[in-house]
Amino acid sequence: MQEIRQVAAAIDLRVRQLEAQGIKGPAIADHMFGCMAGLQRIYDTASDETLIDLSRRYPGFHHYATLMEALSEKNQAMMEAGTHPHGDLPVLPEPIKLSLEKLLASAAELERGYQSAVDSGRFADHINELTGLKHRWADDLQSVVRLFQSSDVPLRSQALVQQVLKTMAERINRLGQG
């Protein structure tokens, strides 16, 4: 239960950070790819009562969960209609999928950390810790890239993932500049 609350609180914080920057609506999802696995874990393990409680305690979590539910329904409708732009792409192999999920989650944590340091007005106090996390994330990023390159994942899938990771890395680099 404690882990669920921590994930919900982290999602809530990141949504509030993004909204404070003027990022609203579906654009929030673009900045929170790394939180999807945590949200799914909550859905998979939490009771309805727990979800209601989390939604009350963490409005940003509720907003993100509602947004992701709407996007999921839209995705499903496009898949059923045959109009999804990526509907023909195969599911990623499990080892690659797990490595990518871990990378996205650590990127979300890093972005949240940088933004919290900026928001606190004490960025310099956190720079060493955040720089270490950033270097580990960059190493993990290179490992995932090599994993994709050595796989038989279609090039179109690789290009899509590369674009997401490139955008994420650019955001992390901008945040890292304080």
Is 65 within a domain? yes
Q: What is the pLDDT of residue 16?
A: 94
Contacts of 108 (CB under 8 A, 6+ apart): 10, 14, 32, 33, 34, 35
The residue among 69, 77, 78, 109 whose CA lies nearest residue 101 is 109
Longest dimension (CA), the chain: 52
Is 86 within a domain? no
Buried b (16+ CB within 10 A) or exposed e, 144-168: beebbeeeebeeebeeebeeebeeb
Q: In the numeric block, which tokens belong to residue 9?
A: 């609180």
Mark whether 77 and 106 lie in a shared domain: no
Q: 60, 81, 102 — which closes off a domain?
A: 81
**CA end-to-end distance (rounded Å), the chain:** 34
Report how many domains make up the chain: 2
Is 101 within a domain? yes
* Residue-by-residue pLDDT tens, the chain, 178 positions: 899 999 999 999 999 999 999 999 999 998 998 899 899 999 999 999 999 999 999 999 999 999 999 999 999 999 999 998 988 889 999 999 999 999 999 998 999 899 889 888 888 999 999 999 999 999 999 999 999 999 999 999 999 999 999 998 998 888 888 6
Range of the domain at 168: 94-176
Mark whether 41 and 102 lie in a shared domain: no
The residue among 130, 102, 116, 112 whose CA lies nearest residue 14 is 112
Burial class (CB in 10 A: 0-12, 13-18, 19+), 170: exposed
Q: What is the pLDDT of residue 131?
A: 93
Is 122 within a domain? yes
Mark whether 69 and 118 lie in a shared domain: no
